[in-house]
Chains A and B, each alone.
Chain A
Amino acid sequence: MAIKIMANFFKKIFSGLFKNKKDIKLGFYGPPNAGKTSLANRICKDFTGEEIGSVSKIPHETRNVQFKEKVEISYKGKSMIFKMIDTPGIATRIDYEDFLKYKVNKKDAKIRAKEATQGIIESIKWLDDMDVVVIVLDATENPYNQVNITIIGNLVARKIPVLIVANKSDLRKANIKKIEEAFPEYRVVGMSAKYGKNFEEFYEEIFSLSKKLK
């Protein structure tokens, strides 16, 4: 009888603890057009059947922070629940004329530019709220962009674990080694969000970083 009472007592405590445990907030940060939404979409689609946002060749397609709650990622018999947060690409310059090259009309280009600036401000505000951040970089681009360095520096100062994804590894110009050389203190996973390449290593790293959270 006493054992049964004790067992119920511990069961109540543990179930209470797990009820209060919040989902891990997993943020996707990086420059525009690096593939943040493509990566978040593939994960969400695989585990919830729904995507998080639309993708486009035109930069700054994501201009609001987008969420997907209760994404339960299962990998090698383990499972973790995440709140996925896809953020607008961070840049230091926004010129509406840049959108005209993509056959966007002037009026829409101006609206897009204005929304993009607000999106960047929103992205920066959200930095404080993340548990784990995936920095998505385009592996065909120069990684020594100051924005990348600034974002990572901020996350380190806030003690937020960082994983770097060298996306677009399917492209011939992709140079994953260059990204590894640019950020030698971080784990870099080369992958292709578009073709679903190397997601195993990505999940392995995300699980490993998430487990270390207190």
Chain B
Amino acid sequence: MSKKELRNKRIKGFSIRFMPYSEIKNLNSTERIRKILDIVFQNYILILQGRLKNEEETRLIGDTMAMIGHVKNFKGIELAVISSDERVGAIDRIKNRLVMSLSGGDIGAITIIGPASIVKEIKKDPKKIELMLNK
């Protein structure tokens, strides 16, 4: 591939925002989702320490769908979670849940959320995450 072709294939630019779990720990579900969507609407890819509750993840999907067509150029999100609770034995899972209840959430997890206009696909398989971006 020539240098010119390579240059043409480069992504114009994207920004990543890291967020520690402490920033959402004391927020209620509505505030958490609003905070996340605010970041996504600014075209950031959000890397969040920890994960949302199951019902919050579902609500995030529902709220995202409600925004499509109402927010200009918004096509939804791409979402992936790598959890410390996945693919471990029963004893480790109990230990993890004990730690989770003490810390107030699964802080060993990582959640990636990006706007679909920037993130084409997030491939998870299952211990690694690959972020495929739109050109």
- Contact flags B49-84 to A (C-beta < 8 A → 1, else 0): 000001101100110111011000001111111000
Task: Tell me the complex Cα distance, A194–B49, Å.
Answer: 42
Partner of B64, one of A92, A118, A156: A92
Residues A114-165 near B (CB distance < 8 A): 114, 117-118, 120-121, 124-125, 127, 142, 144-147, 149-151, 153-154, 156-157
Chain A to chain B contacts (Cβ below 8 Å), 23 pairs: A90-B61, A92-B61, A92-B64, A92-B77, A92-B79, A92-B116, A95-B76, A114-B68, A117-B66, A117-B68, A117-B69, A120-B61, A144-B124, A144-B125, A144-B126, A146-B79, A147-B61, A153-B57, A154-B55, A154-B58, A156-B54, A157-B54, A182-B126
**B123 on interface, CB distance cutoff 8 Å:** yes
B64's nearest neighbour on chain A, judged by CB, is: A92
A121 touches B65 (CB 8 A): yes
B57 touches A150 (CB 8 A): yes
A13 to chain B, nearest CB (A): 39
**Which residues of B come within 8 Å of A, CB atoms?**
54-55, 57-58, 61-62, 64-66, 68-69, 75-81, 116, 122-126
Question: Is chain B's interface secondary structure helix, strand, loop, or mixed overall?
Answer: mixed
A144's nearest neighbour on chain B, judged by CB, is: B124
Partner of B62, one of A94, A124, A144, A157: A124
Partner of A92, one of B76, B123, B125: B76
**A174 on interface, CB distance cutoff 8 Å:** no
Task: Tell me the complex Cα distance, A119–B24, Å.
Answer: 29
Query: Given the complex, which residues of B lie within 8 Å of A157, measured CB to CB?
Result: 54-55
